[in-house]
Structure 1
Amino acid sequence: MNVAAHVKDILINVIQISDETEFDDDTPLLGAIAEFDSMAIVNVITTIEETFGVEIDDDEISADVFEDFGSLVEFVKQHVE
């Protein structure tokens, strides 16, 4: 399973940005994408849970998780693998 590709698809769909948007580990998220607000974060977490069949506790969520694409992918991998 390509976790990064799934996370990219989730971000594109939730924050409704172009599917041609490139993401690498250093691509900033929180504060860098105008559409990526608190409601988008909730929707991303919910979609991650549904897509990967995992449960994420509220106390696990922090700004560090959403600092950049790489940190979000790593967070998801910790829950999936």
Structure 2
Amino acid sequence: MTPSADQTLRQILADVLGLDPARVAGFDRSTGLFGHLPELDSMSVAGLLTEMEDRLGFIIDDEDVDGELLETYGSLLAFTEAKLASA
């Protein structure tokens, strides 16, 4: 069974940011990311986006990346699902 976008995204966040998987499992759509998680700073954003591209098999263009993308877990998941649907 292929993991869902949600499961994969949660695993990427845990791996790249060094977060406890149980903590990431508790994220809901309104959980704040950039500016709310100290682990997600400007340096880790590039690693996060690169890992998303590698594991999920899509390309993230520069114009895709804006403040809203990493605002909440829900916004990042919606972006991921849209990218997968158009891939």
Q: Mark yes or no: TM-score above 0.5.
A: yes
Deviation at 1:25, TM superposition (A): 0.5
> 2:11 aligned to 5, 9, 33, which one?
9
CA RMSD, 1 decimal: 0.9
Deviation at 1:56, TM superposition (A): 0.9
Partner of 1:23: 27
Unaligned runs of 5+ in 1: none
Task: Look up the SS of the partner of 1:20 in the other structure.
Answer: helix
Give the TM-score normalised by structure 1: 0.95
Identity %: 28
> 2:47 aligned to 43, 48, 54, which one?
43
Q: Tell me which amino acid in the other structure corresponds to 1:20.
A: A
Deviation at 1:38, TM superposition (A): 1.1
Task: Give the whole-Å Cα distance in 1 for the aligned partners of 2:56 and 2:39.
Answer: 23
Task: Give the whole-Å Cα distance in 1 for the aligned partners of 2:4 and 2:58.
Answer: 16
Give the TM-score normalised by structure 2: 0.88
Task: Give the whole-Å Cα distance in 2 for the aligned partners of 1:56 and 1:17.
Answer: 23
Residues matched between the structures, number: 81
Deviation at 1:7, TM superposition (A): 0.6
Listed as ranges, the matches of 1:40-79 within 5 Å are 40-79=44-83
Measured against aligned partners, the alpha-carbon deviations of 1:12-68 in whole angstroms (never above 9, x if no partner) come to 111101111111101100111101001211111101100111111111101100000
Q: Tell me which amino acid in the other structure corresponds to 1:9.
A: Q
